[in-house]
Structure 1
Amino acid sequence: MTSDISLRPVTAADLDLFETEFATEEGTGSFQWFGFTPTHRLRRRFAEDGLLGPDDGTLTVTVDGQTAGRVEWFASAWGRARTSACWTIAIGLLPAARGKGTGTGAQHLLARYLFDHTRAERVQAWTDLHNLAEQRALEKAGFVREGVLRAAQWRAGRWHDQVLFSALRGDGPFRDTSDLAEEEPWQA
């Protein structure tokens, strides 16, 4: 049986669920736990722009219409931002949604969304060197492994190596298909 994975704008109910589910290491998973953080800035931002701004954004991941997590993007640059900007993406799935292809589908959909609605040539993501599940998900979503960033992330009291992945607008799964028949929604 396949599941219908989709993205939609965040709702107030989603924020409540995210605050509850992502408030502990068990909820985020060990590779995404950076300690306790305040939520009032996120709520204020939600009230201002629905978490959809010109330099970053957040969407809710759904599976068969049920909230399964969130995807985020923010502007990055490999040189001067005016000429070398790209998007960096991140994902947080509820524990029950992990290991079922949801991350693969959601990250593919987010990259397609960013290529369709922004001028970005590059979308990138990174994950812990030991997070093999996320590395597989990114590869299945159409991202290419570029290399290891040594001691790039401080978490759990020490520095961790990260693996960098990218997708380019012209890469096979992300090429312009406007002249082709409409594709089916992402199925996991």
Structure 2
Amino acid sequence: MTALAPDTSVRTGRLTLRPFAPADAGRIRAVIGARHAFLPPGAPGHPSGIAQWLAHGVHELRRSGQGVHLAMDADGLIVGAISLFKTLWGAGTTEIGYGVHPLHRGRGYAPEAVRGLTRWAFETTALRRIELRAHLDNTASLRVAEKAGFVREGVLRAAEMEDDGPHDVVVFGLLRSDLA
């Protein structure tokens, strides 16, 4: 496999990880209006870009063969987003990232989604390694990685530049064999 299907959908205990769709426009409009930052990279900053993003932009990663952006749907409500990206099919590697709506944090959605998507990826693709990266000072994301079974592999010093300066990044990895 060198690409993910357009209808990629993963069911976990409480979530359906599914492609974003035009029917999500109202929810995305509310998220953008409230300036909640949990949507995938490239999400529109203004409501006028929502239709274009839902029709094309959010699906570009999948179309390019480099990954997929999925909504975390809990009973019809988008509570977050999760992505596979930087996928190198020849090497069998990808990276996973996620964001949870601020009103739905602390409920275990992120580790549940990460476990579900990684299990699905290992069961249905030739991927052999999934990485997860988190800022060293982001204790919530560090806990998500650990709860999802990822192994802490090291720290990249001053690896990412943010508005407030450089940040150290913790690299976690999960191998197909880790699930056995």
Which residue of 2 is the match for residue 27 of structure 1? 36
Q: Secondary structure at the match of 1:106?
A: helix
The 5-angstrom pairing of residues 1-188 of structure 1 reads 4-14=14-24, 16-18=26-28, 20-21=30-31, 27-28=36-37, 39=49, 42-43=53-54, 45-46=56-57, 49=59, 52-53=62-63, 54-76=65-87, 82=90, 84-171=91-178, 174-175=179-180
Matched AA of 1:61: M
TM-score, normalised to structure 2, is 0.74
> Alpha-carbon deviation of 1:169?
0.5
Q: Which has the higher contact order (CA 8 A, sep 6+)?
A: 1
Gap runs ≥5 in structure 1: 176-188
| Distance in 1, Cα, partners of 2:164 & 2:29 | 23
Matched AA of 1:102: Y
| Distance in 1, Cα, partners of 2:25 & 2:130 | 25
Matched AA of 2:102: P
> Alpha-carbon deviation of 1:64?
3.6
TM-score, normalised to structure 1, is 0.72
* Identity rate, percent: 30
**How many residue pairs are counted as aligned between the two chains?**
162
Superposition RMSD in Å:
3.1
| Distance in 2, Cα, partners of 1:22 & 1:131 | 23
